Structure 1
Amino acid sequence: MDGETLEARIEEELGPGGRLAAAIPGFVHRPQQHEMALAVARAIEEKGVLLAEAGTGTGKTFAYLLPALLSGRKVIVSTGTKTLQDQLFHRDLPRLKAALKIPVRTALLKGRQNYVCHYHLERNLAHGRFITAEDAALLRLIARFAQHTVSGDKAECVAVPEASFVWTFATSSRDNCLGQDCPHWQECFLMKARRAAQEAECVVVNHHLFFSDLVLRDEGVGGLLPEADLVVFDEAHQLPELAAVFFGESLASTQCFELVRDARVEALVAAPDFRPLRDAIDAFDKAVKDLRLSLPAETLRWPRQQALEQAAGFESALQTLMTSAGVLREVLASQQERSEDLQRLVTRAEAVERLLAQWGEEGACFVRWVEAVGTRFTLHRTPIEAGPAFSRLLSAGKRAWVMTSATLAVAGSFAHFRRDLGLLDEELPVREGIWASPFDYRRQALLLVPHGMPEPGSPQHLPAVEELAERLIRAAEGRAFVLCTSLKAMQRLGEGLRARLGAEYTVLVQGEGPRHALLERFRTTPRAVLVGSQSFWEGVDVAGEALSLVVIDKLPFAPPDDPVLAARMERLRKEGQSPFALLQLPQATIQLKQGAGRLIRSESDRGVLCICDPRMVTRVYGKILWSSLPPMRRTRDVRRAEEFLGTIATTAAQENAASSQGADAPSEDIGSRGET
């Protein structure tokens, strides 16, 4: 279909009197959605790149899905989260296909560790070593699920939590998948999902899978994803950070422990009489654990040099790990004739050796750093600049690219996003568009930057945030998010607010349960407060009266000692440029926009956004932050915010009373929900 015809079809379907309005109950024509859809159509026609910031409520999902489906091209839609991935596939695509009456084949494809693996499930049931009887019982539940599921997607196995460690015994990894040599190849859930994706016109994936597939293709291995004429990245603000991760390399302790687990099973099955193999596995297992023990117990992100200098046993533990990996590889190789699985384990041990060696190599283009969380660690080798590799990806094929999010621009400019992803090549047509939210923010929302707040570096800052949050929470009668820029601040505010608010309020704190469970409790519990850090700044949608207050403790500047950020800042300094203006400020602005976006999720929402950081007013860069946020009314008077919240609480109580007497609920307005 040529571009002119496609644009004409969009006019027919999406215009004020279009067919979508007649086919979808509650559909409202939005000029912003209409204009963005036409811009996507032009990108498809030109095989170019479109950067599209679409504010909350514009209906960006339909704005890119409509031209994508009408184009008749092969489409991949990549999302930032599996939650949005499921929403697109199970809700948005079926509604649009039904309204358009077109037989477009769609497929949902996730990473391999989301699908039950018959082979590893069977072997681990027979030979696995389980720490607890509960793990063994959960694995038997997964085995029953595998007998009747069609998709094999672990998200559908309600009896076993998705985050449960036991899933590692029931799924495969890139390292241990047998491919076509697997005896269960024909009934493999992953292969069925892949075949469905190859045959579909529209495939929904997530960013992690998309970039993982790119790595496979670069290494000459057949990837999971089909070729496409159009790739859409929703939640595209995540791309710069993800690109840096996936264009680098890493070795995680979990990868090492999976090697240990599989080697133990295979030693028991194929070489039970060869004691040196068991000894080598045990030595490698201990070396992995000792490396974590050589680092401080708290969460950390250290450059390699800092780990060598400040963790007394780290260098020796690292050397022991490298030596034990080499011994394990040699011992496995000496027995590899006994089974094909032992041969595969040799390859995996070689990969661990290679990654450890690379982590020790010098190189000006990469940052080598260690991350430790809980009992786990990861050794990262991250490119200082991911833009060149990403721009080569975009230039390699003749296809269109659409990158969209509610938060891509800073003060109306995409310069930072283009720079981070290398989108500066004049030979590649890059168009830009900003479509503001249709919500009436001046009526619906109030932005409070209170007088008298201490500077964030002051010891008095956090107590002042706690006191102010209590006042506003009481005025709002709960229904509040408190978003923190660090886990330490989150814990202190969570404990402080519990003590201040007492049993009258329910204070939920990130980490006390799965995110979806905490959100459900928040939505259904009167006078609830949710205190969260990074996980709750984006991708969280609480529309309606359940949320009327968002408190942000301070501006979300990344800590300057972050290894990757520090390396990028140093490079900019050497180039004579400002790291703050080109890197720190844009990143903080995008993060702040994400946090602010939690407040107003529909045309009927009302609420207060409170930013407890005087730098919004006292620093010159505050103007950039102000201009990047939605156009809310502004105040520095806490009492005015309390009065506004009191009005909202009173209105909500009246509406609840009317609802309990049988008042009709308003119909959903397409495009006003589910945006990020």
Structure 2
Amino acid sequence: MPSLDDVFSGAGLLAKTIDGFRPRQAQTDMANAVANAITHSDSLIVEAGTGTGKTFAYLAPVLLSKGKAIVSTGTKNLQEQLFHRDLPLIRKALASNRKTALLKGRANYLCLHRLAQHGGNSTLVEADVLNELSTVRAWANTTKSGDIGEIKTLPEDARVIPLVTSTVDNCLGRECPDYEDCYLVKARKNAMDADIVVVNHHLFFADMALRDTGFGELIPEADCIVFDEAHQIPEIASEYFGEAISTRQLTEICKEITLLYRTVLKDAEQLERAGEKVRMQAADLRLLFSDKSQRGHWLEAMKRDEVATQVSRLEDAVGVLYDICKLHLGRDKDLDNLFDRIVQSREKLALFTTKEHDGMSLWYETTPRHIVLHMTPLSIAAKFRRFVESDDRGWVFTSATLVVDGEFTHFQRRMGLENAKTMLLDSPFDYAKQAMLCVPRYLPEPHQPAMRSQLADIAKRLIKASGGRCFLLFTSHAALQEVAATLQSQIDNPVLVQGSTSKQALLRQYLADPAAVLLGTGAFWEGVDVRGNDLVCVMIDKLPFAAPDDPLLQARLEECRKKGGNPFGTIQIPQAVITLKQGAGRLIRDPSDAGVLVICDNRLVTKPYAQTFLGSLPAMKRTRDLAEVESFLAAIEHQSGSSQSDKSKETTKESAEEQQ
């Protein structure tokens, strides 16, 4: 078996497989640390700066170890990239025969039973979904994996997808007539048989919180668990360690009751009427809140008489549905499953009528048509610590953004990993030469009305100096829309705005036009990889502090105060620093990149906490003069000459090596 030195040296296995591979000491150091964590069943936290090569640094020791490993990534896109591009490349370099598997959440796999349910009932499906249903049926005759993502003509949010996939609630499990042919069962069996399984954080924590069955068989078998993009874990884990119920879930139950009534239970009219009553009461509850999507404190909302009354009516309607459904138990397996879901819904609704829940935040959020009630733990540290310490296995947590002002304390405290080993690996890029940081002079305060027109003016100067090729990142949709409207009326460059189409479609449009400018909010602050001269300027509107009226954040701040802590210093600043580092990380992605980061927030100069932010960013050349920024961009343009037309279309080998 090759050693890690054999893998990462200048004449090693990766150098022989990947054109242009360059050994990096930080990458080798991380690989050795990961190997030690696996061997000694330790917990390891690694911040690996952009360009370190962290993906290969954990994949190599995982492939060279003998046990089973789970690798969890932040998103499905990263999951597929890791499985289809990075893993095959390093497996080839190591000549490894270790078996790998990709496992997604159940909502990604076709459910044959639900597809059959909609076979002859087109009257229950809206006309605009029928074409999508026909597309799915045609594809279902040829697919081997059942992965809905194979249907490239379907948008990610296609309305047909919930109709032909299962949820934890409506899955019949072994009682399903199509169990033997179930694509999800097959995917899980492949994962059980594999040595290395690639999942995503949502799937991992859905199982850990015992909300899903089947995949839970996999975790106990793992000798090593690696979390990439680990900075996302605290929020995702909190979501799954709590409870939630939405009017959408209740509406889905009622729709399925109607489907059963019209097909196999045609004598159960009273059941269908009870379901319709629940649907109406759920809709009436949503109508008591603003048309706009919002978040708020649930216990505050319950002080409104009309809300408390409507929740009581909804509970009563669900109770009646429970009683009537109970009379029909045993007649149909789908109905028996619906009864179990009604029981769970009653229990969850009851949680949200109780006044006090220690250590939990009760809050709600609305969508255009539904309301979701959440009960979220204020801290997951104790529960996660117990989980990590319950078995002897290696744990690796890595990201480019875990450290705040040189310390891992914030992440360790949130995850209960105070005893974990830590490693900080700086990026190999020469930021002092490659990049410039500018905080423009004479800015209004971030909250002042004049700020948005100032942002538009600065953006115009940057776009003109760079010829396009800019990301303009915003902390709010309102600021994004206002600046976008101004730019669209005043510049000739294509202005691409988040929300106008899918994220991937926007990126394709951006890369196809060297004059394009892209405006985005949270979705574009991380996980976007644009290299070379396709991106030479990133402008951020202000420091990304979380919205102060967010009910979950408010509850955490209050909890911190009760314990005598400083909530601003221990919660708000660290979270904002990590988000800012993610946004700044879009700029320099490989050794030949150059560009400018402009942060339009004078608090980076005037506030005592400014050094915490600045000290957490790469050591770029700094200025407050936009004229210097324009000169720097002009120099980039001069050096690249006419290379705008030379879009960064690296080969798979080049891209994979640099991506690491």
- Normalization by structure 2: what TM-score? 0.96
Aligned partner of residue 193 in structure 1, secondary structure: helix
Q: Which amino acid aligns with 1:357?
A: A
Alignment of structure 1 residues 505-520 onto 2, 5 Å? 505-520=493-508
Give matches, 1:125-524, under 5 Å.
125-127=119-121, 129-216=123-210, 223=216, 225-226=218-219, 227-309=221-303, 313-361=306-354, 362-424=356-418, 426=419, 430-501=420-491, 504-524=492-512
User: Match of 1:50?
Assistant: 44
Counterpart residue number, 1:614: 602
Contact 1:27 1:670 in 2 (8 A): no
- Provide the C-alpha distance between the structure 2 equivalents of 1:323 and 1:28, rounded to a whole number of angstroms: 67
In the aligned structure 2, how far is the partner of 1:637 from the partner of 1:131? Answer: 59
Amino acid in structure 2 at the alignment position of 1:105: K
1:631 partnered with 2:631:
no
Quick one: structure 1 residues 259 and 671, their matched pair in 2 at CA, closer, same or farther if it must change by over 3 Å? same
Deviations 1:122-149 (A, max 9, x none): 1112235545322012111111111111
Give the Cα–Cα distance (whole angstroms) in 2 for the partners of residues 393 and 346 of structure 1. Answer: 32
Secondary structure at 2:97 match in 1: coil
Specify the code of the residue in structure 2 equivalent to 1:451. R
Contact kept, 8 Å, 1:43 with 1:49, in 2: the verdict is: yes
Would the aligned equivalents of 1:58 and 1:672 in 2 still touch at CA under 8 Å?
no
Q: Which amino acid aligns with 2:396?
A: V
Render the CA deviation track for 1:608-651: whole Å, top value 9, x for unaligned.
11000000010111101011011111100011101111222344
Q: Is the 8 A contact 2:439 2:623 kept in 1?
A: yes
Letter of the aligned partner of 1:149 in structure 2?
T
Offset, 1:79: 0.4
CA RMSD of aligned residues (A): 2.0
Q: 1:375 to 1:18 in 2, by over 3 A?
A: same
Counterpart code for 2:200: N
Contact 2:445 2:451 in 1 (8 A): yes
In the alignment, the residues of structure 1 paired with residue 515 and residue 308 of structure 2 have an alpha-carbon distance, to the nearest angstrom, of 51
**2:104 equivalent among 89, 101, 110:** 110
Matched residue type, 1:246: Y
Structure 1: gaps (5+ residues): 1-5
CA distance in 2, matches of 1:510, 1:671: 27
Structure 1: how far apart are the matches of 2:470 and 2:643?
Answer: 19
* Contact 1:57–1:672 (CA under 8 A) maintained in structure 2: no
- Whether the 8 Å contact between 1:247 and 1:386 is mirrored in structure 2 is yes
Of 250-259 and 221-230, deviating more is: 221-230
| Cα gap change, 1:197 to 1:667, in 2 (>3 Å) | closer
Secondary structure of the corresponding residue to residue 454 of structure 1: coil
Q: Which amino acid aligns with 1:323?
A: D
SS in 2 for 1:204: strand
How many percent identity over aligned positions?
42
Q: Indicate which of 532, 536, 551 corresponds to 1:544.
A: 532
Matches within 5 A, 1:36-47: 36-47=30-41
**Structure 2: which 5+ runs fail to align?**
none
Q: How many residue pairs get matched?
A: 658
2:573 alignment counterpart: 585
Moved more, 73-82 or 467-476: 467-476
Residue 18 (1) aligns with residue 12 (2): yes
Amino acid paired to 2:344: A
Alpha-carbon distance in structure 1 between the residues aligned to 2:122 and 2:347: 28
Pick from 49, 54, 59 the counterpart of residue 53 of structure 2. Answer: 59
| Secondary structure in structure 2 of the residue aligned to 1:337 | coil
Query: Larger deviation: 76-85 or 647-656?
Result: 647-656
How far apart, CA to CA, are the structure 2 residues paired with 1:269 and 1:670? Answer: 53
Q: Report deviation, 1:72.
A: 1.6
- In the aligned structure 1, how far is the partner of 2:245 from the partner of 2:56? 39
* 1:554 partner letter: K
Deviation at 1:599, TM superposition (A): 0.7
Name the CA distance, whole Å, in 2 between partners of 1:534 and 1:489.
13
- In 2, Cα distance between the equivalents of 1:312 and 1:522? 50
Contact between 2:124 and 2:259, CA under 8 Å: does it hold in 1? Answer: no
Mapped contact 2:100–2:194 kept (Cα < 8 A): yes
| Kept in 2: contact 1:448–1:609 (CA 8 A) | yes
Looking at structure 1, the residues matched to 499 and 19 of structure 2 have their Cα atoms a distance apart, in angstroms, of 38
**Structure 1's 80 and 664: CA in aligned 2 closer, same or farther, altered over 3 A?**
closer
Counterpart-to-counterpart distance in 2, 1:108 and 1:265:
34
Match of 2:82 in 1: 88
Residues in 1 aligned to 2:573 and 2:504: alpha-carbon distance in whole angstroms: 31
Distance 1:141 1:671, change over 3 A: closer
One-letter amino acid matched to 2:472: V
C-alpha displacement of 1:38? 0.5
Contact 1:60 1:671 in 2 (8 A): no
Instruction: Spell out, residue by residue over 1:432-476, the C-alpha distance to the aligned partner (whole angstroms, 9 max, x if none).
Output: 001111111111111010011111121211221111111111111
SS of the residue corresponding to residue 422 of structure 2 reads: strand
Deviates more, 1:270-279 or 1:81-90: 270-279
Give the counterpart letter for 1:314 in structure 2.
V
Match in the other structure for 2:23: 29
Alpha-carbon offset, residue 242 of structure 1: 1.0
Corresponding position of 2:519 = 531
Shift of 1:666: 8.9
1:3 corresponds to which residue? none
Shift in Å at residue 159 of structure 1? 2.3
How far did residue 500 of structure 1 move? 2.1
Question: Separation in 1 of the partners of 2:124 and 2:488?
Answer: 38
Matching residue of 2:560: 572
Shift of residue 314, structure 1, vs aligned partner: 2.6
Give CA deviations for 1:193-230 in whole Å, capped at 9, x if unaligned.
Answer: 0000000000000000000111227x987726342000
Please state if 1:555 is matched with 2:543. Answer: yes
Q: Is the 8 A contact 1:125 1:139 kept in 2?
A: no
Q: CA deviation at 1:588?
A: 0.2
Whether the 8 Å CA contact 2:475–2:522 is kept in 1: the answer is yes
* CA–CA separation in structure 2 for the residues paired with 1:653 and 1:312: 68
CA drift of 1:376 comes to 2.9
1:664 CA drift (Å): 11
**Contact 1:28/1:670 (8 A) holds in 2:** no
Shift of residue 591 of structure 1? 0.2
Give the superposition deviation at 1:25: 2.1
- The 2-side partners of 1:665 and 1:419 are apart by 40
Tell me if structure 2 keeps the 8 A contact 1:244–1:383.
Answer: yes
Q: TM-score scaled to structure 1, two decimals?
A: 0.94
Q: Counterpart of 1:380 in structure 2: which amino acid?
A: H
Of 184-193 and 128-137, more deviation after overlay is shown by: 128-137
